[in-house]
Amino acid sequence: MSGTITSILELERLERDIFRGNAIETTLVRTFGGQVASQSLAAAGRTTEPEFVVHSLHGYFLRPGDPSIPTVYLVDRIRDGHSFVTRRVRAVQDGRAIFTMAASFHHGDEGIEHQDTIPDVPDPLSLPHVTDGGDPEQLWIAREWPQWDLRFVPRDRVEPLGGSAGRQQLWFRSLEELPDDPMFHVCTLAYLSDISLLNTARAAHPPGQLLQLASLDHAMWFLRPFRADDWLLYDQLAPSSAEGRSLTQGRIFDRSGTLVAAVTQEGLTRHLHE
């Protein structure tokens, strides 16, 4: 199973802009993509001033990571401006890059405001925990991430979105009480945002198909403050699958209906033949 998010985000500073993340116990044969993304973002945040808040990240998964060895994060200070700060991060194992990310930080300004409305979904406490369902995929998620309260909206209660091919919804929160540092919550959300998004592509197809799934890239926009130890709704869509790849998108709302983040990911979803 994976470690606690606190242990995952504890990076050792080796040099001014070089950090090392610990190897984390897991049942996965490859390093979890959310772990690499969250540690990369944490490393970038360690090189910025507190008044700058991360508002976006764009990452590419280049090679499978080895979960049994640490990962080194090399931060490049691309820009230090008055309103925006930009960082580029390379995650390295055994001398080879496994992930690269650009992150942008903003000193907030005043401007127009609007947001989408939260979907009409059941309250999280009215839904069963993933350990209480019979879905093998959800039971595996529960075993790998026991530190999280995860509650999927049943497929027959997910309202189709006009024109959308596939959709699933997940309520989640950390069972561990997290520090008050807003950057810690952003990194935590980057971690968990990779947990189920690509699987949304399966929702548009009959069950039982053998697929090779792997994240290829990952982009996030952090829109408003939130806490990852309070309930968050992950509304996930799969607008397209073709050429062995699937495009997936997510909107993340807090329990009060505030839109706090948005996610887009493309992943490998090619057929496996027995």
Question: Catalytic site residues?
Answer: 194, 215, 265
Tokens of 112: 């127009």
- The answer to whether the beta carbons of residues 200 and 270 sit under 8 Å apart is no
Helix (H) or strand (E) holding 144: helix 136-144
**3-class secondary-structure state, position 36:** helix
Cα(128)–Cα(71) distance, integer angstroms:
36
Using alpha carbons, list the distances in angstroms from residue 207 to 128, 201, 213, 266. 21, 11, 15, 21
Residue in 198, 204, 238 with CA at minimum distance from that of residue 218 = 198
For tokens 């990310």, the residue is: 101
Cα(212)–Cα(194) distance, integer angstroms:
16
Tokens of 242: 């073709």
DSSP state of 107: -
Strands (E), 52-95: 53-61, 71-80, 84-93
